Amino acid sequence: MKKRNLKERITLDPIMTLVILIVITIVVSGFLGLLGVQVNYQTIANDVTLQTTESLVSVESLFSLSGLKYIFTTTVANFVSFTPLSSLIIVLIGIGVMEKSGFLKTVVTILTKKIKKKTVTFAIVLFCILSSVMGYLPYVIMIPLSALIFMYGRRNPYIGIIASYAALCAGTGINVLFTSSDSEILKGTLLGAHIINPTYNLGTTSFVFIMLAAVILVAIAITVITENYIAEKLPKYDFPEPELEDDLVITNKQLKGLVFATIAGLIYFVFFIYCIIPGLPLSGALLDYSQTFYIDKLFSADSFFSNGFVFVVTCFFVILGLFYGIGAKTIKNNKDLCDDLGHSLDGVGKTLVLIFFASTFISIFKRTNIGEVIMAALANILTIEGFGTFPLIILLFIISALGTIFLPNSRFKWAILAGIAVPTLMDAGIAPEFIQVIFRFGESALMALTPMFAYYVIYLAYLEKYNQNTKPINLFKTIRYQLPYSIVIGLMLLALLIIWFIIGLPIGVNGVVSI
């Protein structure tokens, strides 16, 4: 009993854990900087001549006067510009209207009334995986929505938060649709491939077959783990209101509101889709025509679609909630609407504090270059001679997975890895498109386990929001929730890669496993 009480007393709040991680990062950077820790790795210096050069990355110490100046002068700016912060606040405005007006409860009741729990979980998981085509925005949409969907279904909202985050992270590197991240990574893959074969080319559909298999298998695996392990381990959730039979009955007013919302939502949706279709009269206004691939026209840094997508989605949510409220008589005047707009923002003070310390920790860790140094050191393992084909496949998968813990950004990771991994594995007879798949599968396996990932704080904040325990949610416990998913997904994807390579099936349209 004494040991248990001691454990309860030393349970750290996530904010305090982040503070400790910040201090540890500063001290470690000072120690590594004092030792002069640095790593050389091979990169492609010239896109035309494909000449390779040695790049140097070293640890930058923040345990110094200049380091302290950096921390104090950039912390506020980093917090203000932290993308998850602005995205979450704006999206919550729309979710608040849908929730307070009753739209979400009505829709969830209709969709889940006669559907098995596992089917609902699978649908949410599958959508989360596929939604990676929209970049990181689904993290701020699906985590809050999944919590509400499970709560309206009289289930612990923790289940929805944990399962949706696992699926979103797994979807980082597996998707049937070609994403903007895939496009950037493909450029690095081709540069590496051209060192061996200057005429090698790849298309956006070169990965579709193996990705489809991965999406289905991972969605099933996450659903099974969620229902048979996570849901069973979580404590019973006490709902604010007891379940009533009337809650399951949809009234005529609610149906009328749903009709209004559907019509208004469809009009808005059709107009929005028309604006991203190129070639039609007055259409395509939201695209960046300086890009080649359509996905880049949508999600490039200069795309109107990409820059305004959070606001577009928020407007869609507001329209759904508003017109439902008008039809169902839950929104009777402008005051009701304005109150609904701020509903989801009630009690977000702790969330904002979490985001502040998370943004500070991530900014400091990036500044030290520790992640890049570790990634470069891991990449250099591939240059060791003597590895056969299968060991190289396994090794690249493990390097990609471990590197993701310290450097979650896919583009930065591949910028370090591509110049070494692609030529090395091509020399072993492995096709560049399959090399890219190995990399993408590897980072999908462990993405959910790293607090260095910017959107991890959204997952953490919502676990804290729905925490009914008197103790604060433990940061390391939130990672332990994701551990079963990462282990199973990692082993499953690695097995899929090896089996696919042995059989020699095409991984996509004109996509092969060996050359």
Q: What is the pLDDT of residues 443-472, one digit of tens each?
A: 999 999 999 999 999 999 999 889 888 777
The total number of structural domains in the chain stands at: 1
Cα–Cα distance measured from residue 373 to residue 377, given in angstroms and rounded to the nearest whole number: 6
Residues 6+ apart with CB under 8 A from 260: 323, 324, 326, 327
Indicate whether 497 belongs to any domain: yes
pLDDT (0 to 100) of residue 1: 46
SS3 334: helix
Higher pLDDT, 298 or 115: 115
Domain that holds residue 56: 2-503
Indicate whether 376 belongs to any domain: yes
pTM, rounded to two decimals: 0.91
**Quick check: 446 and 479 in contact, CB under 8 A?**
no
Can you tell me which residue has the tokens 């899929």? 496
pLDDT at 159 over 70: yes
DSSP string covering 152-200: HTTS-HHHHHHHHHHHHHHTTT--SSPPHHHHHHHHHHHHHHHHH-TT-
pLDDT (0 to 100) of residue 280: 72
Indicate whether 512 belongs to any domain: no
- Which residues on adjacent β-strands are paired with residue 56? 40
- Contacts by 242-248 with C-beta closer than 8 Å and gap 24+? 243/154, 247/109, 248/109, 248/113
Q: What is the mean pLDDT of the chain?
A: 88
Rg (the chain; Cα; Å): 24
pLDDT at 293 over 90: no
Q: Up-side HSE of residue 459: CA atoms within 13 Å toward CB?
A: 33
Cα–Cα distance measured from residue 158 to residue 360, given in angstroms and rounded to the nearest whole number: 26
SS3 148: helix
Confidence of residue 153 (pLDDT cuts 50, 70, 90): confident
pLDDT (0 to 100) of residue 9: 52
Confidence of residue 30 (pLDDT cuts 50, 70, 90): very high
**Quick check: 369 and 352 in contact, CB under 8 A?**
no
Of 20-24, 174-178, 248-252, 456-460, the least confident: 248-252
pLDDT (0 to 100) of residue 6: 47
Can you tell me which residue has the tokens 């929005």? 272
Can you tell me which residue has the tokens 């696919």? 500
Confidence of residue 74 (pLDDT cuts 50, 70, 90): very high
Which pair of tokens denotes residue 95?
Answer: 């979710």
Q: What is the pLDDT of residues 76-134, one digit of tens each?
A: 999 988 988 888 999 999 999 999 999 998 888 888 777 888 999 999 999 999 998 88
SS3 331: coil
Residue of 179, 166, 182, 181 lying closest to 218 (CA atoms): 166
Higher pLDDT, 433 or 296: 433
Confidence of residue 349 (pLDDT cuts 50, 70, 90): confident
Of 21-35, 242-256, 354-368, the least confident: 242-256
Of 139-148, 275-284, 493-502, the least confident: 275-284
Higher pLDDT, 289 or 365: 365
Q: What are phi and psi of 140, to 5 degrees?
A: -85, -10
Per-residue pLDDT averaged across 296-325, rounded?
A: 84
Q: What is the pLDDT of residues 41-72, one digit of tens each?
A: 888 766 666 667 888 999 999 998 999 899 99
**Quick check: 361 and 25 in contact, CB under 8 A?**
yes
Cα–Cα distance measured from residue 168 to residue 129, given in angstroms and rounded to the nearest whole number: 5
pLDDT (0 to 100) of residue 50: 64
Indicate whether 382 belongs to any domain: yes
pLDDT (0 to 100) of residue 245: 46
Indicate whether 163 belongs to any domain: yes
Cα–Cα distance measured from residue 337 to residue 83, given in angstroms and rounded to the nearest whole number: 27
Cα–Cα distance measured from residue 316 to residue 356, given in angstroms and rounded to the nearest whole number: 28
Indicate whether 53 belongs to any domain: yes
Indicate whether 236 belongs to any domain: yes
Residue of 155, 91, 165 lying closest to 128 (CA atoms): 165
> Can you give the three-state secondary structure of 57-80, one letter per residue?
EECCCCCCHHHHHHHHHHHHHHHH
Can you tell me which residue has the tokens 């494909």? 50
Indicate whether 508 belongs to any domain: no
